[in-house]
Protein backbone atom coordinates (compact mmCIF):
# COMPACT_ATOMS: atom_id res chain seq x y z
CA UNK A 1 0.00 0.00 0.00
CA UNK A 2 2.45 2.58 1.29
CA UNK A 3 4.69 1.31 -1.48
CA UNK A 4 2.08 2.13 -4.14
CA UNK A 5 1.25 5.46 -2.53
CA UNK A 6 4.81 6.67 -2.31
CA UNK A 7 5.88 5.69 -5.81
CA UNK A 8 3.08 4.81 -8.24
CA UNK A 9 5.63 3.94 -10.95
CA UNK A 10 4.75 2.96 -14.50
CA UNK A 11 1.88 0.58 -15.37
CA UNK A 12 3.38 -2.94 -15.31
CA UNK A 13 3.93 -4.18 -18.87
CA UNK A 14 3.30 -0.69 -20.29
CA UNK A 15 5.80 0.86 -22.73
CA UNK A 16 7.13 3.12 -19.99
CA UNK A 17 7.62 0.12 -17.69
CA UNK A 18 9.54 -1.71 -20.43
CA UNK A 19 11.82 1.30 -20.96
CA UNK A 20 12.42 1.54 -17.22
CA UNK A 21 13.21 -2.19 -16.97
CA UNK A 22 15.67 -1.97 -19.90
CA UNK A 23 17.40 1.11 -18.45
CA UNK A 24 17.64 -0.34 -14.92
CA UNK A 25 19.02 -3.58 -16.41
CA UNK A 26 21.63 -1.60 -18.38
CA UNK A 27 22.75 0.24 -15.23
CA UNK A 28 23.00 -3.04 -13.26
CA UNK A 29 25.02 -4.69 -16.05
CA UNK A 30 27.47 -1.79 -16.22
CA UNK A 31 27.78 -1.73 -12.43
CA UNK A 32 28.34 -5.51 -12.42
CA UNK A 33 31.17 -5.02 -14.92
CA UNK A 34 32.63 -2.56 -12.40
CA UNK A 35 33.49 0.07 -15.02
CA UNK A 36 32.36 3.29 -13.32
CA UNK A 37 33.52 5.32 -16.35
CA UNK A 38 30.81 3.60 -18.43
CA UNK A 39 28.13 4.81 -16.04
CA UNK A 40 27.00 7.71 -18.25
CA UNK A 41 23.65 8.54 -19.89
CA UNK A 42 25.03 7.96 -23.43
CA UNK A 43 26.57 4.57 -22.53
CA UNK A 44 23.48 3.50 -20.56
CA UNK A 45 21.25 4.57 -23.46
CA UNK A 46 23.21 2.48 -25.98
CA UNK A 47 23.12 -0.55 -23.67
CA UNK A 48 19.37 -0.14 -23.04
CA UNK A 49 18.59 0.55 -26.70
CA UNK A 50 16.95 3.91 -26.00
CA UNK A 51 17.96 7.47 -26.91
CA UNK A 52 19.94 9.53 -24.38
CA UNK A 53 17.15 12.13 -24.54
CA UNK A 54 14.79 9.47 -23.15
CA UNK A 55 17.06 9.26 -20.11
CA UNK A 56 17.37 13.03 -19.71
CA UNK A 57 13.60 13.46 -20.11
CA UNK A 58 12.73 10.73 -17.67
CA UNK A 59 15.51 10.91 -15.05
CA UNK A 60 16.98 14.38 -15.47
CA UNK A 61 20.35 13.51 -13.95
CA UNK A 62 22.47 10.38 -13.54
CA UNK A 63 22.28 10.50 -9.72
CA UNK A 64 18.48 10.39 -9.95
CA UNK A 65 18.59 7.34 -12.23
CA UNK A 66 21.13 5.61 -9.99
CA UNK A 67 18.97 6.42 -6.98
CA UNK A 68 15.98 4.75 -8.67
CA UNK A 69 18.03 1.63 -9.45
CA UNK A 70 19.46 1.48 -5.94
CA UNK A 71 16.03 1.75 -4.33
CA UNK A 72 14.99 -1.22 -6.45
CA UNK A 73 17.97 -3.10 -5.01
CA UNK A 74 16.88 -2.17 -1.49
CA UNK A 75 13.45 -3.78 -2.00
CA UNK A 76 13.35 -6.76 0.40
CA UNK A 77 13.35 -10.00 -1.60
CA UNK A 78 11.63 -12.08 1.05
CA UNK A 79 9.44 -11.87 4.17
CA UNK A 80 11.31 -11.85 7.51
CA UNK A 81 11.89 -15.30 9.03
CA UNK A 82 9.22 -16.63 11.40
CA UNK A 83 10.88 -17.85 14.61
CA UNK A 84 7.67 -18.11 16.62
CA UNK A 85 7.95 -14.99 18.79
CA UNK A 86 8.19 -11.26 18.09
CA UNK A 87 11.41 -10.68 19.99
CA UNK A 88 13.23 -13.44 18.10
CA UNK A 89 11.72 -12.40 14.75
CA UNK A 90 12.63 -8.75 15.29
CA UNK A 91 16.17 -9.53 16.45
CA UNK A 92 16.84 -11.86 13.51
CA UNK A 93 15.38 -9.37 11.03
CA UNK A 94 17.25 -6.29 12.28
CA UNK A 95 20.56 -8.18 12.56
CA UNK A 96 20.25 -9.27 8.94
CA UNK A 97 19.12 -5.78 7.87
CA UNK A 98 22.12 -4.11 9.52
CA UNK A 99 24.45 -6.76 8.12
CA UNK A 100 23.13 -6.06 4.62
CA UNK A 101 23.21 -2.26 4.65
CA UNK A 102 26.59 -2.15 6.41
CA UNK A 103 28.17 -4.21 3.63
CA UNK A 104 30.07 -2.29 0.94
CA UNK A 105 27.26 -2.65 -1.63
CA UNK A 106 24.71 -1.87 1.07
CA UNK A 107 26.50 1.34 2.08
CA UNK A 108 26.80 2.30 -1.59
CA UNK A 109 23.07 1.82 -2.12
CA UNK A 110 22.20 3.95 0.87
CA UNK A 111 24.75 6.61 -0.11
CA UNK A 112 23.55 6.73 -3.72
CA UNK A 113 19.97 7.29 -2.55
CA UNK A 114 20.95 9.96 0.00
CA UNK A 115 23.19 11.74 -2.56
CA UNK A 116 20.47 12.13 -5.15
CA UNK A 117 18.10 13.36 -2.44
CA UNK A 118 15.10 12.30 -4.52
CA UNK A 119 12.60 12.50 -1.65
CA UNK A 120 10.37 9.78 -3.11
CA UNK A 121 13.31 7.35 -2.99
CA UNK A 122 14.49 8.37 0.48
CA UNK A 123 10.94 7.77 1.69
CA UNK A 124 10.84 4.44 -0.13
CA UNK A 125 13.81 3.18 1.90
CA UNK A 126 11.87 3.77 5.12
CA UNK A 127 8.70 2.36 3.55
CA UNK A 128 10.38 -0.98 2.77
CA UNK A 129 11.62 -1.11 6.37
CA UNK A 130 8.16 -0.25 7.73
CA UNK A 131 6.57 -2.96 5.60
CA UNK A 132 8.94 -5.58 7.05
CA UNK A 133 8.22 -4.35 10.59
CA UNK A 134 4.46 -4.47 9.93
CA UNK A 135 4.81 -8.08 8.75
CA UNK A 136 6.56 -8.97 12.01
CA UNK A 137 3.92 -7.09 14.04
CA UNK A 138 0.85 -8.63 12.40
CA UNK A 139 2.36 -12.08 12.75
CA UNK A 140 2.94 -11.43 16.46
CA UNK A 141 -0.52 -9.93 16.95
CA UNK A 142 -2.02 -13.04 15.33
CA UNK A 143 -0.14 -15.05 17.98
CA UNK A 144 -1.71 -12.84 20.65
CA UNK A 145 1.60 -11.18 21.54
CA UNK A 146 1.95 -7.61 22.82
CA UNK A 147 3.97 -5.58 20.30
CA UNK A 148 5.32 -2.02 20.07
CA UNK A 149 4.05 0.29 17.32
CA UNK A 150 5.97 0.36 14.05
CA UNK A 151 7.02 3.96 14.85
CA UNK A 152 8.44 2.78 18.17
CA UNK A 153 10.48 0.13 16.34
CA UNK A 154 11.75 2.80 13.93
CA UNK A 155 12.57 5.29 16.71
CA UNK A 156 14.06 2.87 19.22
CA UNK A 157 15.75 0.26 17.03
CA UNK A 158 16.18 1.16 13.35
CA UNK A 159 17.04 4.87 13.70
CA UNK A 160 19.76 4.51 16.35
CA UNK A 161 21.43 1.75 14.33
CA UNK A 162 21.22 3.58 11.01
CA UNK A 163 22.53 6.76 12.70
CA UNK A 164 25.58 4.82 13.98
CA UNK A 165 26.02 3.26 10.55
CA UNK A 166 26.06 6.68 8.86
CA UNK A 167 27.92 8.75 11.46
CA UNK A 168 30.31 6.41 13.27
CA UNK A 169 33.35 4.41 12.22
CA UNK A 170 32.02 1.12 13.64
CA UNK A 171 29.13 -1.08 12.52
CA UNK A 172 26.73 -1.82 15.38
CA UNK A 173 27.30 -5.41 16.55
CA UNK A 174 24.90 -8.05 17.95
CA UNK A 175 25.37 -6.83 21.57
CA UNK A 176 24.46 -3.28 20.59
CA UNK A 177 21.40 -4.55 18.72
CA UNK A 178 20.35 -6.80 21.62
CA UNK A 179 20.66 -3.86 24.03
CA UNK A 180 18.26 -1.78 21.90
CA UNK A 181 15.79 -4.67 21.54
CA UNK A 182 15.86 -5.28 25.32
CA UNK A 183 15.23 -1.57 25.99
CA UNK A 184 12.17 -1.54 23.72
CA UNK A 185 8.75 -1.29 25.42
CA UNK A 186 5.87 -3.74 24.92
CA UNK A 187 7.93 -6.77 24.03
CA UNK A 188 7.31 -9.97 25.95
CA UNK A 189 10.66 -11.35 27.21
CA UNK B 1 39.19 15.90 22.78
CA UNK B 2 37.03 13.68 20.62
CA UNK B 3 37.33 16.42 18.02
CA UNK B 4 41.14 16.31 18.12
CA UNK B 5 41.18 12.52 18.15
CA UNK B 6 38.85 12.12 15.19
CA UNK B 7 40.54 14.69 12.92
CA UNK B 8 43.94 16.00 14.01
CA UNK B 9 44.03 18.39 11.03
CA UNK B 10 46.99 20.59 10.09
CA UNK B 11 49.07 22.52 12.68
CA UNK B 12 47.37 25.91 13.13
CA UNK B 13 49.34 28.63 11.33
CA UNK B 14 51.45 26.02 9.51
CA UNK B 15 51.85 26.14 5.70
CA UNK B 16 49.44 23.26 5.31
CA UNK B 17 46.87 25.06 7.48
CA UNK B 18 47.21 28.21 5.37
CA UNK B 19 46.68 26.23 2.16
CA UNK B 20 43.62 24.55 3.69
CA UNK B 21 42.18 27.90 4.80
CA UNK B 22 42.69 29.43 1.34
CA UNK B 23 41.12 26.44 -0.42
CA UNK B 24 38.14 26.29 1.95
CA UNK B 25 37.65 30.06 1.48
CA UNK B 26 37.75 29.65 -2.31
CA UNK B 27 35.09 26.92 -2.17
CA UNK B 28 32.86 29.04 0.10
CA UNK B 29 33.21 32.08 -2.19
CA UNK B 30 32.29 30.04 -5.29
CA UNK B 31 29.37 28.46 -3.45
CA UNK B 32 28.22 31.91 -2.26
CA UNK B 33 28.24 33.08 -5.89
CA UNK B 34 25.97 30.12 -6.60
CA UNK B 35 27.81 29.09 -9.76
CA UNK B 36 27.97 25.29 -9.38
CA UNK B 37 29.79 24.99 -12.72
CA UNK B 38 32.74 26.87 -11.18
CA UNK B 39 33.04 24.27 -8.45
CA UNK B 40 35.95 22.37 -10.06
CA UNK B 41 39.51 21.67 -8.89
CA UNK B 42 41.04 23.96 -11.57
CA UNK B 43 38.71 26.89 -10.75
CA UNK B 44 39.11 26.40 -6.99
CA UNK B 45 42.91 26.23 -7.40
CA UNK B 46 43.01 29.53 -9.32
CA UNK B 47 40.80 31.22 -6.72
CA UNK B 48 42.92 29.86 -3.84
CA UNK B 49 46.23 30.63 -5.57
CA UNK B 50 47.45 27.03 -5.40
CA UNK B 51 48.17 24.47 -8.13
CA UNK B 52 45.42 21.98 -9.06
CA UNK B 53 47.90 19.21 -8.21
CA UNK B 54 47.91 20.50 -4.63
CA UNK B 55 44.17 19.85 -4.51
CA UNK B 56 44.44 16.41 -6.14
CA UNK B 57 47.29 15.45 -3.80
CA UNK B 58 45.56 16.66 -0.67
CA UNK B 59 41.88 15.94 -1.32
CA UNK B 60 41.89 13.34 -4.08
CA UNK B 61 38.39 14.15 -5.32
CA UNK B 62 36.07 17.16 -5.32
CA UNK B 63 33.45 15.42 -3.13
CA UNK B 64 36.13 14.86 -0.47
CA UNK B 65 37.09 18.55 -0.51
CA UNK B 66 33.43 19.64 -0.39
CA UNK B 67 32.86 17.21 2.47
CA UNK B 68 35.73 18.83 4.43
CA UNK B 69 34.32 22.32 3.83
CA UNK B 70 30.80 21.25 4.79
CA UNK B 71 31.98 19.65 8.03
CA UNK B 72 33.60 22.98 8.89
CA UNK B 73 30.21 24.61 8.30
CA UNK B 74 28.58 22.08 10.62
CA UNK B 75 30.89 23.04 13.51
CA UNK B 76 28.65 24.64 16.15
CA UNK B 77 29.47 28.36 16.42
CA UNK B 78 28.29 28.73 20.00
CA UNK B 79 27.51 26.79 23.20
CA UNK B 80 23.85 25.75 23.65
CA UNK B 81 21.68 28.26 25.52
CA UNK B 82 21.46 27.91 29.31
CA UNK B 83 17.81 27.97 30.36
CA UNK B 84 18.41 26.73 33.89
CA UNK B 85 17.26 23.11 33.57
CA UNK B 86 18.37 20.15 31.43
CA UNK B 87 14.96 19.47 29.91
CA UNK B 88 14.59 23.06 28.70
CA UNK B 89 18.21 23.27 27.53
CA UNK B 90 17.95 19.98 25.64
CA UNK B 91 14.61 20.88 24.03
CA UNK B 92 15.84 24.31 22.93
CA UNK B 93 19.09 22.88 21.58
CA UNK B 94 17.55 19.98 19.62
CA UNK B 95 14.79 22.21 18.17
CA UNK B 96 17.40 24.64 16.86
CA UNK B 97 19.61 21.78 15.64
CA UNK B 98 16.77 20.19 13.66
CA UNK B 99 15.72 23.59 12.32
CA UNK B 100 19.26 24.20 11.09
CA UNK B 101 19.95 20.82 9.44
CA UNK B 102 16.45 20.64 7.92
CA UNK B 103 17.00 23.96 6.13
CA UNK B 104 18.07 23.76 2.46
CA UNK B 105 21.71 24.63 3.25
CA UNK B 106 21.61 22.28 6.24
CA UNK B 107 20.33 19.38 4.15
CA UNK B 108 22.96 20.13 1.51
CA UNK B 109 25.72 20.06 4.13
CA UNK B 110 24.57 16.72 5.48
CA UNK B 111 24.11 15.29 1.98
CA UNK B 112 27.54 16.49 0.83
CA UNK B 113 29.17 14.78 3.81
CA UNK B 114 27.21 11.53 3.37
CA UNK B 115 27.91 11.48 -0.39
CA UNK B 116 31.66 11.71 0.00
CA UNK B 117 31.54 8.98 2.66
CA UNK B 118 34.83 10.22 4.13
CA UNK B 119 34.46 8.34 7.44
CA UNK B 120 36.41 10.94 9.40
CA UNK B 121 33.90 13.63 8.36
CA UNK B 122 30.83 11.48 8.98
CA UNK B 123 32.18 10.79 12.47
CA UNK B 124 32.90 14.50 12.95
CA UNK B 125 29.19 15.32 12.45
CA UNK B 126 28.29 13.06 15.36
CA UNK B 127 31.24 14.36 17.40
CA UNK B 128 30.03 17.96 17.16
CA UNK B 129 26.59 16.79 18.28
CA UNK B 130 28.06 14.75 21.16
CA UNK B 131 30.12 17.75 22.30
CA UNK B 132 26.99 19.92 22.49
CA UNK B 133 25.15 17.19 24.41
CA UNK B 134 28.08 16.84 26.83
CA UNK B 135 27.99 20.60 27.47
CA UNK B 136 24.29 20.34 28.35
CA UNK B 137 24.94 17.31 30.55
CA UNK B 138 27.86 18.75 32.53
CA UNK B 139 25.92 21.95 33.10
CA UNK B 140 22.96 19.94 34.44
CA UNK B 141 25.20 17.71 36.57
CA UNK B 142 26.75 20.84 38.07
CA UNK B 143 23.21 21.90 39.00
CA UNK B 144 22.74 18.50 40.65
CA UNK B 145 20.23 17.33 38.04
CA UNK B 146 19.79 13.69 36.98
CA UNK B 147 20.67 13.35 33.29
CA UNK B 148 20.65 10.56 30.68
CA UNK B 149 23.93 9.43 29.12
CA UNK B 150 25.05 11.13 25.92
CA UNK B 151 24.49 7.81 24.09
CA UNK B 152 20.91 7.75 25.37
CA UNK B 153 20.36 11.25 24.02
CA UNK B 154 21.80 10.17 20.64
CA UNK B 155 19.74 6.95 20.53
CA UNK B 156 16.46 8.33 21.84
CA UNK B 157 16.40 11.89 20.52
CA UNK B 158 18.97 12.74 17.82
CA UNK B 159 18.88 9.49 15.83
CA UNK B 160 15.07 9.23 15.45
CA UNK B 161 14.90 12.86 14.31
CA UNK B 162 17.81 12.59 11.86
CA UNK B 163 16.35 9.33 10.50
CA UNK B 164 13.03 11.11 9.81
CA UNK B 165 14.91 14.03 8.29
CA UNK B 166 16.76 11.72 5.90
CA UNK B 167 14.05 9.17 5.09
CA UNK B 168 10.70 10.93 5.34
CA UNK B 169 9.06 13.74 3.42
CA UNK B 170 8.27 15.80 6.53
CA UNK B 171 10.55 17.63 8.94
CA UNK B 172 9.92 16.59 12.56
CA UNK B 173 7.97 19.38 14.30
CA UNK B 174 8.04 20.64 17.92
CA UNK B 175 5.35 18.14 19.04
CA UNK B 176 7.36 15.24 17.65
CA UNK B 177 10.49 16.54 19.38
CA UNK B 178 8.65 17.10 22.68
CA UNK B 179 7.28 13.54 22.52
CA UNK B 180 10.81 12.14 22.23
CA UNK B 181 12.14 14.35 25.03
CA UNK B 182 9.24 13.31 27.30
CA UNK B 183 9.90 9.63 26.55
CA UNK B 184 13.57 9.94 27.54
CA UNK B 185 14.66 8.32 30.81
CA UNK B 186 16.43 10.15 33.65
CA UNK B 187 15.12 13.62 32.96
CA UNK B 188 13.50 15.51 35.82
CA UNK B 189 10.13 16.91 34.65
A129: distance to nearest CA of chain B, Å? 11
Q: A18-55: string of b/e by CB count within 10 Å (b at 16+)?
A: ebbebbbebbeebbeeeeeebbebebbbebbebeeebb
Q: In which band, very low, low, confident or very high, does the pLDDT at A10 lie, cut at 50, 70 and 90?
A: low
What residues have CB less than 8 Å from B86, skipping those under 6 apart?
B136, B137, B139, B140, B143, B145, B147, B187, B188
Give A17-36 pLDDT, tens digit per residue: 899 999 999 999 998 898 87
- Which residues in chain A are closer than 8 Å to B123, comparing Cβ atoms? 167-169
The minimum CA-CA distance between A125 and chain B, rounded to whole Å, is 7
Q: What is the pLDDT of residue A147?
A: 95
Residue A141 has pLDDT above 50, yes or no: yes
Give A107 to chain B, closest Cα distance, Å.
9
Please judge whether A117 and B125 are an interchain contact, meaning their C-beta atoms are less than 8 angstroms apart: no
User: Which CATH number does B74-182 carry?
Assistant: 1.10.357.10
The answer to whether A160 contacts B155, with C-beta atoms less than 8 Å apart, is yes
pLDDT (average), residues A86-107: 93
Look at residue A34 in the predicted model and tell me its pLDDT. Answer: 83
CB of B81 within 8 A of CB of B93? yes
Q: What's the pLDDT at B76?
A: 87
Tens of pLDDT, residue by residue over B5-46, are 444 566 677 888 899 999 999 999 998 898 878 899 999 999
Q: Which residues contact A36 (CB under 8 A, 6 or more apart)?
A: none
Average pLDDT over every residue of A89-117: 91
Provide the CATH number for the domain formed by A1-60 in this structure: 1.10.10
Residue A146 sits at φ, ψ, to 5 deg, of -85, 130
Q: Which segments of chain B belong to CATH 1.10.357.10?
A: 74-182
Q: What is the pLDDT of residue B5?
A: 43
Output b/e per residue, A90-116; b: 16+ Cβ within 10 A.
bbebbbebbeebbeeebebbbbbbbbb
B74-94, pLDDT tens digit by residue?
888 888 999 999 999 999 999
Inter-chain CB proximity A163 and B125 less than 8 Å = no
Contact at 8 Å (CB) between A160 and B154? yes
Comparing C-alpha atoms, which of B89, B85, B158, B87 is closest to residue B125? B158
Q: What residue ranges of chain A are covered by domains with CATH 1.10.10?
A: 1-60
Quickly state the pLDDT bin for A72 (edges 50, 70, 90): confident
**What pLDDT does B28 receive?**
92
pLDDT tens readout for residues B146-162: 999 999 999 999 999 99
- The residue with greater pLDDT, A2 or B20, is B20
Mean model confidence pLDDT for chain A: 89
Which residues in chain A touch residue B158, judged by CB atoms under 8 angstroms apart?
163
pLDDT of B47? 95
Amino acid sequence: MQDKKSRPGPRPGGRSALVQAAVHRAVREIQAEGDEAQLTFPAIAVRAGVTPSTLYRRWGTLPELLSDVMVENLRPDKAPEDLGCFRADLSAWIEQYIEEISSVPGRNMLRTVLCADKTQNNVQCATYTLQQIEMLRSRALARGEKVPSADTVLDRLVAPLVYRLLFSAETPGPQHIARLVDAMPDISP
